[in-house]
Structure 1
Amino acid sequence: MTKIPILDYLTKVVNSENVDEFTTYQIYPTAISKTLGFQITDVASGEAKVSINADHEIHGNQQGTIHGGLLCELADAAIGTAHSTLMNEGESFTSIELKINFFRPTWKDKLTAYAKPIQSGKTITVYHCEISNTEGKLVAAVTSTVMTLRGDKAKGR
C-alpha cells in the first residue's frame, strides 16, 4: 500500500476514487462514521463537509426530533475531518472544547455540517461549524477548540 497525505486520501474518497491501494496517517472511514452513516462530501485544507441522512425513527429523541447528540457528533466529525487534513505523519489531535447552539428541530432530512477554522495556531485551532438542512436553513452552529499533538504526546492516539 502507498501511504499518502490525509488531504489527498480524503479527496480521493470525496471524488469516489478507489482507495484500496492507499493508506494514510489516520483511520478512514472512522468506526463512528460507519456506525452512524456519515459521508464526507467535500474536503479542502482545514475544511470539511460531512453529511448524514437523519431520520427521527433512527436518530430521534423523546420529543420525536433528531437528537442533539447526533448533531454534536456530526459537527465533531466535520471538525475532526477538517483538522485531520492538516496533520502530518506522527501528529494527532484532540478536541478540548465543543459548544453547540440549536436553532431549529428536524425530523427526516439530509443534514450537512461544514467546518472551517476561525483561528489557526501551531498547537490550538478554533473551528466554526454550521449544520444546515436541505433547504439551506441553519439547524445548529458549533464552535470547537482542537489541540494538535506531536511527538510522544501523539503516540497511540
Structure 2
Amino acid sequence: MTAELTTESTPESWGEPRTRTVAWHDPMVTAAGALVRTGLETMEAIRDGILPPPPIAMLVQLGISSLEEGRVEFTCDVDESVYNPIGVVHGGLVCTVLDTVVGCAVHTTLPAGVGYTSIELKVNYLRAVHATSGPLTAVGTVVKPGRRVAFAEGEVRNAAGQTVATATGSLLVFPIPA
C-alpha cells in the first residue's frame, strides 16, 4: 500500500475520500511545564488549557474528563479514520488509550522533576469497537505507586457502559534529566 494515493489513482468503487485534520502545539512547551509541576499539577494544567495537550492526544482525539491523585478518566472520540482492514476500530488505538490512562494515573502521583515510561502493558480485548461505540471512556488507577516502579490498571468502556478492554501496566519511574 502506498501513501501516495490520490483521487485520480484510486478506483471509483472506493467512493469519495474522507479527511480528518490534526493540529497540535509544540510538545516541548508541555515537557518544560512538567519539570516545575507535580504530575497532578501538570495534568491539571493540560486539562485547564494552561499547557497544551501532547500531540498524541490530538491525534487520537483524547481528552481529560477527571483527575485526582492516583486516578484519571479520559474520553476518546472514535471514527472510521481509526478502522483496521476488517472494519472495526484498530486494537492499537484502544491499547494507546489504555497506555495513556495507566501512565497518566501514575503521573498524578509523582513529584516535580520525575517522569515515567511504560515497561510492560498487558491488554485484554473484550469486545469490538466501532465508530458508533463511542465516545469511549477510559479510567486509569494506580494499584501501587513506587519510587522506581509503579503499577496501575486501566479500563475502557463504550458509550453503552460496556467494558471493551482492560489493562495492567508496570511503569519505570525516574528523575527527568535537566
What is the aligned length? 142
Match of 1:29 in 2: 53
Which stretch of structure 1 is more off in the superposition, 5-14 or 136-145?
A: 5-14
* Pair 1:39 & 2:63 matched: yes
Q: Percent identity?
A: 26
The residue aligned with 1:68 is 91
User: 1:133 corresponds to which residue?
Assistant: 158
Distance 2:136 2:128 in 1: 12
Indicate if the aligned counterparts of 2:106 and 2:145 stay in contact, CA closer than 8 A.
no
d(CA) in 2 for partners of 1:82, 1:13: 14
How far apart are the structure 1 equivalents of 2:54 and 2:172?
19
TM, length-normalised to structure 1 = 0.81
**TM-score using structure 2 length:** 0.72
Partner of residue 116 from structure 2, selected from 93, 105, 115: 93
3-state SS of 2:115 partner: strand
- Aligned-partner SS, 1:54: coil
Measured against aligned partners, the alpha-carbon deviations of 1:32-61 in whole angstroms (never above 9, x if no partner) come to 112221101111102111111111x21101
Gaps of 5+ in 1: none
- Distance in 1 (CA, whole Å) between partners of 2:90 and 2:62 is 15
Distance 1:94 1:4, change over 3 A: closer
State the SS of the aligned residue for 2:43.
Answer: helix
Flag the 1:72–1:18 CA change in 2: closer, same or farther, 3 A: closer
Cα distance in 2 for partners of 1:50, 1:104 equals: 19
Match of 2:5 in 1: none
SS for the counterpart of 1:70 is: helix
Question: Which residue identity lines up with residue 101 of structure 2 in the other structure?
Answer: A
1:115 equivalent in structure 2? 140
RMSD: 2.0
C-alpha distance in structure 2 between counterparts of 1:9 and 1:100, whole Å: 26
- Secondary structure in structure 2 of the residue aligned to 1:136: coil
Larger Rg: 2
For the residue of structure 1 that corresponds to 2:53, the secondary structure is coil
SS of the counterpart of 1:96? strand
User: CA 1:105–1:18 in structure 2 vs 1: closer, same or farther (change >3 Å)?
Assistant: closer
CA distance in 2, matches of 1:93, 1:44: 18
Q: Which has the higher strand share?
A: 1
Q: Cα distance 1:87–1:59, how it changes in 2: closer, same or farther (>3 A)?
A: same
Q: Shift of the alpha carbon at 1:4?
A: 4.3
Whole-Å separation in 1 of the counterparts to 2:55 and 2:46: 16
Aligned mates of 2:91, 2:174 — CA distance in 1: 29
1:124 alignment counterpart:
149
Letter in 1 for 2:149: I
